[in-house]
Amino acid sequence: MRSRNDPEIAKQHAVLQQAIIAQGVKAWLSEKAQPASLDSLIYLCKFAFFTGILTKSQIGQVLGADRPEVKALVRGWYDDHRARGCGTC
């Protein structure tokens, strides 16, 4: 996983936000999407995963995470979704 001060975070954040805009779902984003930080990048990955924009493999590339880290993140996202319902992004 990228460190909190990784200079790639801002670049990956901008690229992912553009992909979300291109899909026409930017209006669904919450204030958690800004400013660019590791936390907001993880939020964007979660949002993009649940809207079908990113795959697990792509999440790993964006976050610089290995397969077990991505698997744990996605499992947590599904657990959160099951517990609190849709709209948890």
Q: What is the pLDDT of residues 36-75, one digit of tens each?
A: 999 999 999 999 999 999 999 999 999 999 999 999 999 9
Residue 71 lies in a domain: yes
Report the chain's mean pLDDT, rounded to a whole number: 91
Dist. CA 3–CA 40, nearest whole Å:
13
Amino acid at 37: S
Residue 2 lies in a domain: no
Helix and strand numbers, DSSP H then E, in the chain: 4, 0
Residue 53 lies in a domain: yes
Dist. CA 73–CA 54, nearest whole Å:
14
Dist. CA 59–CA 89, nearest whole Å:
15
Q: How many folded domains does the chain comprise? A: 1
The pLDDT assigned to 87 comes to: 63
Average pLDDT over residues 17-35: 88
Residue 3 lies in a domain: no
Residue 80 lies in a domain: yes
Residue 1 lies in a domain: no
Dist. CA 20–CA 27, nearest whole Å:
10
Q: Which domain holds residue 14?
A: 8-84
Dist. CA 2–CA 7, nearest whole Å:
9
pTM assigned to the model: 0.87
